[in-house]
Structure 1
Amino acid sequence: MEISVVIPLLNEEESLIELHDWIANIMQSNRYLYEIIFIDDGSTDNSWQIIKQLSSKHESVKGIRFQRNFGKSQALDAGFAIAQGNVVITMDADLQDNPEEIPELYNLITSQNFDLISGWKKKRYDNVVTKNIPSKLFNAVARKTSGLQLHDFNCGLKAYKNEVIKNIKVSGEMHRYIPVLAKNEGYTNIGEKVVQHQARKYGETKFGINRFINGFLDLITISFLSKFGKRPMHFFGLWGTLMFLFGTSLAFYIGAYKLYKVYNGIKTILVTDNPWFYIALTSMILGTLLFLAGFIGELIIRNKNDEKHYKIREKLNL
């Protein structure tokens, strides 16, 4: 198998047949051995029925149907798990990603030995206020935080070596940061290609302005996990120790100063009337809690399993 095309979707019944025929025409004209994997992320329209029709006519079409809507990241993870192609290409099902890009993406991976190629929709046909401007801000922050100089982290059109997608775990809403996940696993030969972006032909976008808020929160999460995900004690233990030492030192100072005044017959207030006493006590408690958080994090990492956070209802040609 040369190419696997992984397509997550939600309520895209109008575009599926056209998208399949377009991809199949590209593959056959270039004589690629290929498979098309549709992952139905809980559609409520006729998307799954159309996928069933396509899979019955074409052995190259495979399908996964989720029990309900679990999210794009989970859909990609399910597709990655079964993808057999040497090169895996992801794209959205709304016809805004152009299948004509597939041959060049494939060649960049196979001929120039890239681990991952991320698409860049340099010219977009989206709403400027709700998508373009927030996207530019989001990508600027993502570049600064991740160190990857990509212009469009959100672009669904990407190409990967098979080994890359088999060695990363996409969960939550981390599909935006697959290049960052790949980099964290040691795949540093990451490139970018300008790709065509097309206006939506059918239906409406499934993503609102809230996806950028979630995106920033996910960026903070992945930045933390990339540094401390496998050693949480290094973060929580450090801050816990510093806070506990600060509180303890402050408590000793308050106590010593109180004894000094008593010894010299100087009138003084009760220790509990001193606001610094409560600051010291709070610091020691917070320090202890942070230290315990580090221990608990270490225990979770050592005992966690790789349970999938989605339920598959039905499979086709698998």
Structure 2
Amino acid sequence: MRLSTSMIYQQNMNGILNGQSAWQKAGEQLASGTKVSVPSDDPIAASQSIMIDQAQAETSQYALARTFSRQNMSLELTALDSIVVAVTSASTAVISAGGVKSNDDRNTQAEVLEGIKAQLLNIANMTDGNGNYIFAGFQTTTEPYVQDATTKAVSYVGGHTAISQQVDSNRSMAVSSTGPQVFDSVTGDAIKSPDGTIQKDLFEALDISIKALRTPIDDGDTAALQALQTALDTTNSGLRNSLNNVSSVQSMLGIQLNELDQLDAIGADRKLANAQAKSALVDTDWVPAISTYIMQQASLQAAYTTYQNMQGLSLFQINK
């Protein structure tokens, strides 16, 4: 087989070019710290890396959702703490009203309860930092509680579905309570009123005593005094039911906040595991990468030397 001068020259040039390409590729791995710069470097690793990136993005989204959920529940807990303080004050005022002897003093006690009712109404219509009502369910832009200008009765006009949030791939939870769940509900061990019914509406319970205390009582009218005491007892049972209910809501929120902490820990572990898996797929393995770089460098140098030596052969000299 005869080899032409041009063929020998081309073979040597191809060896040099291929050597340069392999050496540069090895250098890119060292410079970038990754062995899969483009999918063609390792199609399987590149495909698996994309899947891991998608999983990481999903994990980050759930982590963000848990952050928002925690903010909502923490804000509600603050509101619930304020409700407990207000209801406790109302209970104290109701008990004290039972010993009041004059109509003027009873009016004063009614004013105290009206002030507490106003506080509770303000809490019921509390908003978050974005102006959304926290006890309005999904109707976050609608003030959930309104008070009749004439009767002073308070009614709920918000949504009846609590806001829920997907906090992990297989977990969704309510991140806020609706108004009725807080202000118009009772637990299973609710206390009965003197008439045998269960008073659960917090605002209505206060109205019962406010109305009774505003009603003048003549001296010696034992029947009116007894009616007043029944009204106070009814309010007191409703207030105790409200305290128990709020405590139950607080406990549920505490359990959910603890679960969010656990999900955060799991998410952090998952994120670390995904990062390690991706690193194993695409990151440079430094020991073999350095060895390959040195070997390719030596191979390229040998190709240069061979080319230079070939230039000195008579065949090339004649060709000149």
TM over 0.5: no
Measured against the shorter chain, the TM-score band is under 0.3
Question: Which structure has greater helix proportion?
Answer: 2
TM-score (norm 1): 0.22
Q: With CA pairs under 8 Å and 6+ residues apart, which has the higher RCO, 1 or 2?
A: 2
TM-score (norm 2): 0.22
